[in-house]
Amino acid sequence: MASAAAGQINTEELPSWGSRSVDCFEKLEQIGEGTYGQVFMARETRTGEIVALKKIRMDNEKEGFPITAIREIKILKRLHHENVVKLKEIVTSTGPEGDEQGNQDGNKSKGGIYMVFEYMDHDLTGLADRPGLRFTVPQIKCYMKQLLTGLHYCHVNQVLHRDIKGSNLLIDNEGKLKLADFGLARSFCSNHEGNLTNRVITLWYRPPELLLGATKYGPAVDIWSVGCIFAELLHGKPILQGRSEPDQLNKIFELCGSPDEINWPDVSKSPWYNNFKPTRTMKRRVREIFRHFDSHALDLLDQLLALDPNQRCTAKQALDAEYFWADPLPCDPKSLPKYESSHEFQTKKKKQQRRQTEEITKGSKSQHYHKHYRLPPIQHTGQAPPQWYGPNHPINDAQPPLSAGPSHHHYGKPHGPPGGPSRYPPGNQGGPYHLNRGGQVGGYSGGPYPPQGRAPPYAGSGMAAPSSRGAPGGYGVGPPNYSQTNQYGIPAAGRGVNIRNQQYGRQ
Amino acid sequence: MAANFWTSSHYKQLFDQEYVDVVLPLDKEKGITLEDFKLIKMHMASYISKLAQHVKVRQRVVATAVTYMRRVYTRKSMSEYDPRLVAPTCLYLASKAEESTVQAKLLVFYIRKIYSDEKYRYEIKDILEMEMKILEALDYYLVVYHPYRSLSQLLQDAGLNDISMTQLTWGVVNDTYKMDLALVHPPHLIALACIYIASVLREKDTTAWFEELRVDMNVVKNISMEILDFYENHRMIPDERFNAALNKLAFKP
């Protein structure tokens, strides 16, 4: 057995049991903030392998080893799937005896525990937020397929993830997507009607049943989050950016219609139904608001975002959806472009820094030019498009598609090759940027969410390229508060996107 | 696909009886025999069970806690890891792992209530400290499978799911945690052995049913023998014998 001598920490070999010291790793950079601690990129000194170290915060624990960490370890130790992040080992720093003070984080003598994960280059939010980056449709299909495959595996194994969101979906440079952060995950029994907490899932991705106080729920909660992510990928930004729980519900109702006993039997028995029931009847507008999505995407989205959890499709049903089997097919993950590492934590930090420098150099007023927001993919709406880009074929190499139908592919020129961030003009981060979006866990503690994380309001969004193209806008006809937060449906804004794209190329 | 018993860490952590029966050198030096070793573990299993009744947690938590405790002692000596601290700490950890969290202070309160003996007295900080050591000794493998789940299915399948049979078998399964069976045999075989014993006791003919199962009846019978042997020899053990064994370890001088 390769265990270390008593009282010492093993810094050498992988022991057959027991754990090694964190000193086997060299911390390189902080890349995230998990449910209960920081995440670092680190190098294993002996092998040079790059890993992610997730520190389990112990300082504020009156009850010893945090139960969230226990859940995550328990669950990750029994889930083994290519779309679920792999827990490689657990390492400790200067054991609980605390004989030595080798902690850089200024913690007291308490020893730390780190979970060692395979390193993944990106998270979906970080990647999507890369300036100028635009996902292709086959790429989105590829990510969605992997997300659903991973989630299906969890659900089959009776694990609810309960915090599906972009920053918890890790992506490596092979195009592989993996579910991560199981800190809120739980096993569930389909027969055992357990009382679960409804304070889970980051607000923007939280399903209506949880907002209505359900404590008995199942895999459908994760599926709702998948629906939100799916629409976000196609739309270019989060679709339901509620500021508070009531506001979130309201936004859901405005999009999906108000619930009643017909579209959602027994909804009125939800614990908080009477507090939150909509004051007026609203009709479902998913297909109207997102009519710029292609019809298969819409069909799938409609099922993912079913108000009634019992009518929401399962991960398996979603994988069987026509969307994944129609052209353009999901691409091979390996065919995806490789990007420089990006995690939401880092992109956020960069943006903040950029904003700060900018605020110093410029006045604060001139900022709403060139605000950065995500670019939605090029999509063909409704009618059969004139040109499909084939599977495994980056859209950018395709011929510029002809404008057909209600024109959302006003996309003139092929992009340049992927380039570093330097290709993007510096500065220009005007929009409010809120730290507690994403990696932080404000969501399930009920803290209010910022109204807009990334997307600038309409007034500020890329109006530098005025155009009078008259395509009817999706959100434009929506309720007033929708038109605030969208760039779609305002053709001019859409043009702005394209012009910027031509200018800076895809990155 | 994982997350069933056969791909679980539990399956990979089944040991040979000989491995489980190794008294570690440090304990041997203090004169601990294999019999002492078994007695202490048995006593600690009852301690965990008693404590669990006070803090009101499910049998499943007890079963997990006892399994943790037994696994710890395949790797750590009792001289270094005082059983009187390891036992409550395993219950503490199992309560978290089985989603029925018990506060450390509640445990400490009931420990005092159950044992006035100074040697059992431990504080919250001792439990929290030991928790980390146990996690490490367990290599963070916290999922334990138990015979209970297969038990009800099997009883139903055998047409033996009346209350009296269910209760009897359930009780036998509970008693298996006083032995190291869970470390050596997969849970469904333990469940079958318990059904076998119960059916013999209640004079139910299960021969045909057992024949149809594709299991190694020799293993089932061996497990049954071990359980029966336990009932014969270890039903009543005077506390003095536990204490004599524990005293060899001489903690807290």
Bridging pattern class, strands A112-118 and A87-93: antiparallel
Please indicate whether, in this complex, the C-beta atoms of B129 and A80 are within 8 angstroms of each other: no
At the top level of CATH, the class of A132-507 is: mainly alpha
Check residue A409 and give its pLDDT: 33
In a domain, B253, yes or no: no
Please indicate whether, in this complex, the C-beta atoms of B99 and A186 are within 8 angstroms of each other: yes
In a domain, B242, yes or no: no
Which domain-ending residue is among B143, B175, B203?
B143
Provide, as residue numbers in chain A, all residues whose Cβ is less than 8 Å from the Cβ of B141: 77
The CATH 3.30.200.20 portion of chain A extends over 22-119
> Residue B72 is part of a domain; what is its CATH number?
1.10.472.10
A91: nearest Cα among A32, A36, A25: A25
The active-site residue, picked from A121, A123, A129, A163, is A163
In a domain, B112, yes or no: yes
**Angle of helix B187-201 versus helix B163-176 axis, rounded to 10:** 130
Of the candidates A6, A77, A96, which has its C-beta nearest B132's C-beta? Answer: A96
Please indicate whether, in this complex, the C-beta atoms of B92 and A90 are within 8 angstroms of each other: no
In a domain, B152, yes or no: yes
Interface list for B 55-84 with A (CB within 8 A): 75, 80
Residues in chain B, overall count: 253
B61 and B105 in a common domain: yes
Q: What is the mean pLDDT of chain A?
A: 72
Check residue A296 and give its pLDDT: 96
Which domain-ending residue is among B95, B112, B143?
B143
Q: How far is CA A119 from CA A147, A165, B125, B156, B183, in A?
A: 18, 18, 35, 47, 34
Count Cβ neighbours within 10 Å for each residue of A116-148 and write b for 16 or more, e otherwise: bbbbbbbbbbbbbbbbbbbbbbbbbbbbbbbbb
A17 pLDDT band, cuts 50/70/90, is low
B230: nearest Cα among B42, B25, B26, B56: B42
So what's the ipTM on this one?
0.86
Provide, as residue numbers in chain A, all residues whose Cβ is less than 8 Å from the Cβ of B19: none
Interface list for B 129-148 with A (CB within 8 A): 129, 131-133, 135-137, 139-143
B110 and B21 in a common domain: yes
Please indicate whether, in this complex, the C-beta atoms of B142 and A90 are within 8 angstroms of each other: no
In a domain, B250, yes or no: no
Q: Does B96 touch chain A (CB under 8 A)?
A: yes
Please indicate whether, in this complex, the C-beta atoms of A64 and B128 are within 8 angstroms of each other: yes
The CATH 1.10.510.10 portion of chain A extends over 132-507
Q: What is the pLDDT of residues A19-53, one digit of tens each?
A: 788 889 999 999 887 556 788 999 999 999 999 99
Cα A123 to Cα A165: distance, rounded to the nearest angstrom: 10
B139 and B18 in a common domain: yes
B133 and B19 in a common domain: yes
Element (H, E) at A289: helix A286-289
Cα A175 to Cα A164: distance, rounded to the nearest angstrom: 19
Q: Which domain holds residue B217?
A: 147-234
B153 and B139 in a common domain: no
B151 and B139 in a common domain: no
B238 pLDDT band, cuts 50/70/90, is confident
In a domain, B216, yes or no: yes
**Which class for B160: exposed (0-12), middle (13-18), buried (19 or more C-beta within 10 A)?**
buried
Fold of the A22-119 domain:
Phosphorylase Kinase; domain 1 (3.30.200)
Choose between B201 and A351: higher pLDDT.
B201
Cα B156 to Cα A342: distance, rounded to the nearest angstrom: 54
B52 and B106 in a common domain: yes
Check residue B169 and give its pLDDT: 95
Size of interface A-B (CB pairs under 8 A): 74
Q: Does A73 touch chain B (CB under 8 A)?
A: yes
Active site residue A327: no
Q: How many domains does chain B have?
A: 2
**Which class for B222: exposed (0-12), middle (13-18), buried (19 or more C-beta within 10 A)?**
middle
Check residue B56 and give its pLDDT: 94
Structural contact between residues A21 and A9, judged by C-beta atoms closer than 8 angstroms: yes
Which two structure tokens, joined as six digits, stand for A270? Answer: 């939800």
B44 and B68 in a common domain: yes
Structural contact between residues A151 and A160, judged by C-beta atoms closer than 8 angstroms: no
Q: What is the pLDDT of residues A211-223, one digit of tens each?
A: 999 999 999 999 9
Average pLDDT of span A88-103:
60
Interface list for A 6-35 with B (CB within 8 A): 6, 17-19
Interface list for A 108-167 with B (CB within 8 A): 111, 113, 153, 156-159
| pTM of the predicted model over 0.90 | no
Which domain-ending residue is among B120, B143, B166?
B143
Of the candidates B2, B129, B133, which has its C-beta nearest A80's C-beta? Answer: B2
B135 and B111 in a common domain: yes
B154 and B109 in a common domain: no
B136 and B39 in a common domain: yes
How near does any CA of chain A get to the CA of B244, in Å?
Answer: 27
B118 and B27 in a common domain: yes
